[in-house]
Structure 1
Amino acid sequence: MKPTSLAILASSAIFLMTWAMPALADVDYHIDINQPAHHLAQVSVSFPQTDSQVLTVNLPVWRTGRYQVLPIADGVRLFNATDSKGKSLPWKRTASGEWQITLTQPTSVKVTYQLHANELGDRLRHIDSSHAFLDASGVFMYSPAFRQQPITVNMQVPKGWKSYSGMDRDGKSHSFKAANYDVLVDSPIETGISQHFSFDADNRQYEVVFWGEGNYDTTQIIADLGKISAQASAIWNGYPFKRYVYMVHATSGARGATEHLNSTVIQLPRFNFREREDYLRFISTASHEFIHTWNVKSYRPQGLVPYDYQSENMTDLLWVAEGSTSYFQNQLLLRAGVMTAKEFFDDLSLRIVLNQHNPGRETQSVAEASLGQWSSTWGDYAVNHSVNIYSEGYLASLALDFSVLTDSKLAHSYRDVHKELYENFKIPMGYTVADVQNILTALTGKDYQSWWQKFVNQPVSLEFNDLLAQAGLVTTYGDKPKIQVDTGMGLSGLYADLVLATVAKNSPAWKAGLTAGDELVAVNGLKVTADGFAKRFNDFSPGDTVKVTVFSNDQLKDVNLVLAEQPKDKLAITAVDNVTAEQKAFFKAWLGIDWPFDTEGKWINADGE
């Protein structure tokens, strides 16, 4: 049938709209790891044809999982842009992570640059003669105009290297593809000389890649990761992935971990795997990052949706994203039988002690700490006036869990809050404070605005024995607790001299006028050394007054320190006397395991045997 004039006009309009929009073609990335010994590579990005007069190209100023602006673009040199005929295009740098390329006619654009990659500790990018770890936020530039376009990544790597990623392969050993840049930026690549293992758990495929020599036991790690990976149903209904990749780095000192869309990277110094305490630290971290696959990567606060890679993403709910993940990590280990109940409560005891010795808990709320994470630093002021979204968020989550259990008469727990967030607020949605409060009300029938004001918007203040008593538990320093002196001074550990890194608020050192940066010289007229610092003060008793000599702003001065006391023994969590059936029921609803004490209050299976 012959088209009408109106139909012809409509077709023309559609054609013009199509011409004005970015072409629906792949963005192609290529990285040539050509000088690995010098941490160098050459990167090229080919963008589809555009008729814009200016093509903006960006490298993120922060990476997902670390909520701080970083000097990422400092690793870029020899930036160049060419058109479809290979002719150089004029460009200018307009921000720390932004380049603007001027175009005079529709054309595809190829961007090339040299990349320096030696930021292993930041888990951002690292290239050496044995491997490359590539987090796209520190490696691959993008254009906002093509952020949602499909992506291919091709790598040229040294002979003998093998490549792994949470992304799907694109037909070749060192090629991957992603739906868009957001998938690429959350799917790091590990390529190099490594050990690779795979296993299945709950109908999902898992891979484990080990880079670096170390004292790790691959058999134990794979077995325990399998146990953890099967525990997701304790919190959520369903999985956001079909395949998941654990990347383990045994390093010369770098440590830390970062969650990604369907993978994680975990780093520890190479000989920090074998001892039980070290191993629990590693496997707890693995659990933490695995949980993030739901909490953060599948649902996250509204302020983080969508990611703005060129600016801070503000939210007062980072404590839920990070602190609640910390709260759940050991619960999965406990349910999986990877961690004993005693080990679980030893960890909780330590968290309580650290909280009670943190002056900042009286000053900053978890909501404020969430908003301040982007500018947070470690130091004397931070220690005395701040809290950590991980540790304080853990305790806020504990308080909220106990409140939900109590208000719902054990019908629901904080796990159900996260189950609802996963069910109803998957990305591209983002949840708000009101959304969380509405879920709490739906689960318990109670309004949680006043609770939120008390425990989230104000500094968290918990009576731990009152709280734990609901689960039949009590904190104790033993029947005959011992005490030792407390000065309130902390050393940096970086110097042979005795420079004070922290002085705890309202401590003896604080009251005496000492401050961070002062250099300790003598106690009662006798020289002290860094290795003898703690032992020297153990020569005295709480209540004693000692003369401390320091250099303060290069001036020698004496101050009198009245020593305080602190417990010498470790805090422990144990069973209350005459535990009731109601307390045992609360314990079971909280952690999902049976009561772990015998009739005499001693741990059952304390050593995991």
Structure 2
Amino acid sequence: MIKPTHLLCSAALYASALLSSAAQAQVQPATNSFPAAVPITINVPDARDVAYPGVIALDVDATDLETGATRVTEKIPVEPGTKQLALLLPEWIPGNHSAAGKPAELVGVHFIADGKELAWHRDPVDVYAYMVDLPAGAREVTAHMIHTPALKGEPGDRVTITREIVNLEWDQFTLYPAGHYVRQIRIKPTVTFPAGFTAYTALDGHETGGGNRNTWDVTDYETLVDSPIFAGKYARRFEIGNKVWLDTVADKPEDLVIAPEHLETYRNLVKEADTLFGARHYDHYDFLLAFSDRMSGVGLEHHRSNESEYLPKAWTDWAASDWDRNVVPHEYTHSWDGKYRRPARLWTPDYRQPMIDDLLWVYEGQTQFWGLVLAARSGVQTKETILGELAAYAGTFGITAGREWRPVVDTTTDPIFAARRPKPFATMSRNEDYYTEGALVWLEADQIIRAGTAGARGLDDFAKAFYGMRNGDWGVLPYTRADVVATMNQVYPYDWDTFFRTRIETPGQPVPVGGIERGGYHLVWKDKPNPYDAGRATEAKMLSLAYSLGMVLDGDGKVMSTIWGSAAFKAGVVPSSQVVAVNGDAYSADTIKAAITAAKGTDKPITLLVKRDSHFETVSISWRDGLRYPWLERSGGIKGPGGLDLLLDPHRAQSSATKPATAKH
């Protein structure tokens, strides 16, 4: 059939158009679409050092022990004419060294004024900010919220409420108005606890009412956040110094029993700190101490208190728990180092401004050092355990490959970007080593001063000069790196700037054993763990072969960690795998230790059957040095106590710092 002419012409024209378009597409250059940045508007006002009008009324219901949910009501006065109120959940919380606030745990948020629900939205830039629209004439906003903390401990989460213990940290569930220094915001706290619970905190003016309702005096928001609560069904309070108390709660009442001679070590701790620093920077102090294996562990410093947690038998099984008790002297030291004296860029006017952590090798590193020293001097821990802990530090840095590329100062950024999450190969990536390597550096500094002054001076003199001024002042006196170096030179002239620059700021340094060796000890290797390592391994039910094959195993042979570059690492035995057999025999801790011992000094390989996912593989590891664990031993030829012995020996004496402090911040 022949098509009509006009149809043929239309088809021809259409084909021609297609060819023309194709030709143009080939000739014309391709163009991409490039967006332009949309400006970000900052809606939350910066903090100013001016008083917020009125007093916030805070009412907390902490009686729900089943779900752990804490119900919160805040009544917040507002200035006339305010159209929008920016309320902030704390984000950068002192002592956490990172943005540690958890908005995801704050639910059921409602805002009411004059009996009407108010519209609000979360700021798109600052997600910790709740932007509340106010009606004309509003004078007060009531906030209703529910805090839902973790019920099981996962990385980054804390269990804070059990059927026997309530740990309240105000920053987790209270909001504060933006635009003011937090010390300029006044607040009146009230908390209702379950019947029969006793509450402890450093807050002033405690009163109790019906239904276990507890109130405290009006305080500022900064002091509130710095004054957490431990409340417990089973609780005991001990006076251990002039206006110093040890406030304890536990899962079971029998865990709060302490022998008189052991309680005396905590009194010694207060005396030793008074002697060391020569001044107190608190008007009263509460050691808040929980004994529990149902909560997530905590060790957090505050100016007039600390939150610490022991394992349940830390007092009743005193000798076996010796390794576990250092958290208390460490956190107590922070009242001077970290709270009163604080790196200038770690003090912030509110909890919105980011913190700069680069001086944590002083804030935490020197506190770690003094925590060990004060523990030994007081008897809270034995000298043998402290020597074991120092040995563990030194031994670990000998197998830390990450020291080659990453200096100590860079580990101060770890809390911010790593947030203590597990790492596949921590010895290569490094962790928060400013604590432990920092402690070894400060130990070396102490021994340099002792040697240079024939024992007349030591780091104790730095502590008095740097932390011990203005008895009774419990404000904040910031410092810089230059201040640290200048005070060290006042104590003992030396090139401290180069000393710290080399050891703290330069990678690839030798293992920091200078303080140990100057102090009359040296690092040795034995075939069994030292007291500190033995205690923590027993509690964790783990077998550390870190210094031999290069891995740490749990009770079932699962690989918890592998040391980068170790024999196990080279054989492909990595975290998530499981050792199921050793030289043909079923895995047990005794079996693998016996195999390592039998292979010592021989060329005989150790054969492991390893399961990873659903795959089984037989690997051979050559290791001829046997079991190895770090210890410190006295160096030969030294008569009498060495510098490290003198450092750890008791120093306590009555001090003027034991007098009640009268100054306020």
- What TM-score, normalized by structure 2, do the two folds share? 0.75
Number of residues paired by the alignment?
563
- Name the CA distance, whole Å, in 2 between partners of 1:22 and 1:380: 48
Change over 3 Å in CA distance of 1:561–1:593 after alignment to 2: same
Per-residue Cα deviation, 1:101-146 (whole angstroms, up to 9, x for no partner): 1124352211111222346867967334434210111122222245
Distance 1:275 1:348, change over 3 A: farther
Pairwise mapping of residues 566-605 of structure 1 onto structure 2 (< 5 A)?
A: 566-568=626-628, 571-574=631-634, 576-579=636-639, 584=642, 586=643, 590-591=647-648, 593=650
Deviation, 1:475, is 4.1
The residue aligned with 1:461 is 510
Residues 403 and 307 of structure 1: is their aligned pair in 2 closer, same or farther, counting only changes over 3 Å? farther
Alignment of 1:556-567 (within 5 A): 556-567=616-627
- The 1:239–1:338 alpha-carbon spacing in structure 2 relative to 1, beyond 3 Å, is same
Deviations 1:170-223 (A, max 9, x none): 54451123531111111011234232323252x333242323215453344532
Q: For the residues of structure 2 that align with 1:23 and 1:469, how far apart are their CA atoms?
A: 56
Alignment of 1:521-536 (within 5 A): 522-523=581-582, 528=587, 532-536=591-595
Q: Is the 8 A contact 1:124 1:138 kept in 2?
A: no
- Alpha-carbon distance in 2 for matches of 1:171, 1:487: 59
Residue type matched to 1:436 in 2? V
Q: Which residue of 2 aligns with 1:72?
A: 102
Q: Are residues 1:234 and 2:275 paired?
A: yes
CA distance in 2, matches of 1:561, 1:332: 43
**Contact map agreement 1:544 1:562 (CA 8 A) in 2:** yes
Contact preservation (8 Å) 1:123, 1:258? no
Q: How does 1:31-430 map onto structure 2 within 5 Å?
A: 31-50=60-79, 51-61=81-91, 63-70=93-100, 72-83=102-113, 85-94=114-123, 95-105=126-136, 106-118=138-150, 126-145=160-179, 147=182, 148-172=184-208, 174-177=214-217, 179-201=219-241, 203-213=242-252, 214-220=254-260, 221-253=262-294, 254-306=296-348, 309-310=351-352, 312-376=354-418, 377-387=421-431, 388-422=433-467, 428-430=476-478
Q: Name the structure 2 match of 1:444.
A: 492
In the alignment, residue 189 of structure 2 is paired with which amino acid?
V
> Helix, strand or coil: the match of 2:247?
strand
Instruction: Give the gaps of 5 or more residues in structure 2.
Output: 1-49, 530-544, 652-665
Query: Is the CA contact (8 Å cut-off) linking 1:305 and 1:429 kept in structure 2?
Result: no
Whether contact under 8 Å (2:282, 2:304) holds in the other structure is: yes
Distance 2:363 2:280 in 1: 18
In 1, the alpha carbon distance for the partners of 2:575 and 2:379 equals: 44
Label 1:378 to 1:125 Cα distance change in 2 as closer, same or farther (>3 A). Answer: closer
Partner of 1:6: none
Partners of 2:175 and 2:149 lie apart in 1 by 14
Q: 1:478 to 1:530 in 2, by over 3 A?
A: closer
CA RMSD of aligned residues (A): 3.4
Say if 1:91 and 1:101, in contact at 8 Å, map to a contact too: yes
Judge conservation of contact 1:300–1:427 (CA < 8 Å) in 2: no
Quick one: which amino acid aligns to residue 506 of structure 1?
G
Task: Please give the alpha-carbon distance, in whole angstroms, between the structure 1 residues aligned to 2:162 and 2:592.
Answer: 40
Q: Deviations over 1:493-525 (max 9, x none)?
A: 38x4x4433222221122334433344455556
**How far apart are the structure 1 equivalents of 2:379 and 2:250?**
27
Q: Quick check: 2:118–2:132 contact (8 Å CA) kept in 1?
A: yes
- Rg larger in 1 or in 2? 2
CA contact (8 A) 1:205 1:242 kept: no
Shift of 1:153: 0.5
Whether the 8 Å CA contact 2:437–2:512 is kept in 1: the answer is: no
CA contact (8 A) 1:53 1:104 kept: yes
Contact 1:302 1:315 (8 Å CA) reproduced? no
Q: By how many angstroms is 1:229 displaced?
A: 0.9
Gaps of at least 5 residues in structure 1 are 1-20, 595-609
The equivalent of 2:656 in structure 1 is none
- Partners of 1:40 and 1:115 within 8 A in 2: yes
Distance across 2 between alignment mates of 1:517 and 1:198 = 46
* Residue 39 of structure 1: how far off its partner (Å): 1.2
Q: Amino acid of the residue matched to residue 57 of structure 1?
A: L
Looking at structure 1, the residues matched to 244 and 157 of structure 2 have their Cα atoms a distance apart, in angstroms, of 24
SS at match of 2:487: helix
- Show the counterpart of 1:597: none
Preserved CA contact (<8 Å) 2:440 2:512: no
Tell me which amino acid in the other structure corresponds to 1:116: T
Q: Which amino acid aligns with 2:548?
A: D
How much does 1:100 deviate?
1.0
Q: Is 1:502 the counterpart of 2:533 in the alignment?
A: no
User: How far does the alpha carbon of each residue in 1:71-95 deviate from its partner, in whole angstroms, 9 at most, with x for none?
Assistant: 6222221101112x22222101224
User: What SS does the corresponding residue of 1:126 show, helix, strand or coil?
Assistant: coil
Give the CA deviation at 1:428.
4.0
CA contact 2:360–2:434 (8 Å) conserved in 1: yes
SS across alignment from 2:479: coil
Shift of 1:470: 3.5
Distance 1:405 1:284 in 2: 25
Cα deviation, residue 386, structure 1: 1.0
Closer/same/farther in 2, CA of residues 391 and 120 from structure 1, 3 Å limit: farther
SS in 2 for 1:242: coil
TM-score (ref. length: structure 1): 0.82
1:488, 1:510 within 8 Å by CA — same for their partners in 2? yes
Q: Distance in 1 between matches of 2:382 and 2:365?
A: 22
Judge conservation of contact 1:360–1:386 (CA < 8 Å) in 2.
yes
Offset of 1:165 from its aligned partner?
A: 0.9
CA contact (8 A) 1:500 1:520 kept: yes
Question: How far apart are residue 559 of structure 1 and its match?
Answer: 4.2
Aligned AA (1:486): S
- Partners in 2 of 1:556 and 1:25 — Cα distance? 68
Q: Check conservation: 1:125, 1:138, Cα contact below 8 A.
A: no
Task: Spell out, residue by residue over 1:316-346, the C-alpha distance to the aligned partner (whole angstroms, 9 max, x if none).
Answer: 1112222211211232233334544444433
Query: Alpha-carbon deviations, 1:531-588, whole Å to 9, x = none?
Result: 85544544533543345454557555554422242554662422532527xx75x457
State how far apart, in whole Å, the 1-side matches of 2:607 and 2:238 are. 62
Give % identity. 19
Q: Secondary structure at the match of 1:218?
A: coil
Alignment check: 8 A CA contact 1:500 1:515 kept: yes
Q: Any conservation in 1 of the 2:425–2:562 contact (CA below 8 Å)? A: no
Select which of 549, 554, 570 maps to 1:487: 549
